[in-house]
Amino acid sequence: MKLEKSELTGNKTVQISGSKSISNRLLILESLFKNIPIGNLSNSQDTQLLKKALAENTDTVDIHHAGTAMRFLTSYYSIMEGKTTILTGSKRMKERPIKNLVNALKDLGAEIEYLENEGFPPLKITGKKITQSQVHVPANISSQFITSLLLIAGKLENGLAIHLVGEVTSRSYIEMTLDILTRFGIQNSFEGNTIKVEPFDTKKASTPVHYEVESDWSSASYFYSICALGRKMIHLKSFYKKSTQGDSAIAGIYENFFGIKTIFSEEEHTITLEPQPDFSFPEKIVLDMNNCPDIAQTLCVTAAALKIPFEISGLGTLRVKETDRLQALYNELKKLGTETEITDLTIKSVSFGEPQKDISIATYQDHRMAMSFAPFCLIGELTIEDDNVVEKSYPMFWEDLSGILTS
């Protein structure tokens, strides 16, 4: 898709679909406990794939590129007594490690086999009754591995205590999961490095718990970037001031570094992104994004477009996402004239030059690469390769983008 050099049309409103992260958690809980009416469910491809997998009683489940579905369903099928499931995915999915989650489940008594390469999908999962209630896992693994265990914990007759070993990564996503469990009536605690989840009280199972899904803050991040570059007001729906989503940190980050103030309307669940006039941009952005790594790409592109030096740490999980996101950023930021250095945990700018002519951004089958680079069209024209990758998390992104830009 070619994006012409554009200007931001001010004072437009965008309705963003429900959070993929929250929706996927709720779908697993709804399937296990059968009493969660869900409103504003995400329309993302990932969520639809998970919904389809849970609705179909098949022996082989292919979740394609949906990493969240792979992790959540691994635990889910492990407790489906008497059912054997082959859980597989795309070529890239078969390259994404899942050993830490499988090891934890095996320690609890689950029966899981690797069908191709040790430590990677596809998996053969034979559902069993799990009675063990204590497990130790590395604290720096993907929060989705930990959430996968937490989502089934209330279904285990003895509950579950997860002992996290080391420094916790993406703590905010774990806390989001625990908040959802609490709202559903599953008692839990997170003290020190130990998370405890009590068995669900079946007496409460007949009481429906309606859950209206907040819109997705990671999807909102691209509009923060657009606002930072276009310097005009944007309204977004439906968002809450007291959000449990880790990516809601985008509001504070963009106010501090780019002068984009977030104004909440509690009654309408709308946020207004308002550029502050005469804002003085920082000499350098230094930030640990350990708790919100999914918005790092957006931040890097915004900083590169404005030629603000940056040094971002806490990005260890980006190497094993839909693509190696740190390497992808290194490659594609060059096209914007930004040279960077990367390690396994960090990315920092080295120099800023002129953008290439005829910029064409490779997306590496990664939805966030497409959407994080799209706001650069406010600086100059560019082409986004394989633009349909946005279907994974935000199918309406290009329509919503075109609705607030003029070329």
| Closest of 235, 372, 238, 253 to residue 312, by C-alpha | 253
- Whether 386 is catalytic is no
Rounded CA separation 180/30 (Å): 12
Q: What does the angle CA 91 – CA 123 – CA 88 come to, to the nearest 5 degrees? A: 35
Q: Which residues does 45 contact at the CB level (< 8 Å), separation at least 6? A: 64, 65, 66, 391, 392, 393, 395
Quickly list DSSP for 342-404.
E-SS-EEEEEE-PPPSS-EE--TT-HHHHHHHGGGGGTS-EEETTGGGGGGT-TTHHHHHHTT
Rounded CA separation 161/190 (Å): 10
Residue 370 contacts residue 360 (beta carbons within 8 Å): no
| Closest of 114, 136, 109 to residue 124, by C-alpha | 114
**Residue of 294, 366, 387, 400 with catalytic role:** 294
| Closest of 216, 298, 292, 217 to residue 258, by C-alpha | 298
Count of beta carbons in the 10 Å neighbourhood of residue 249: 18
Active-site residue list: 294
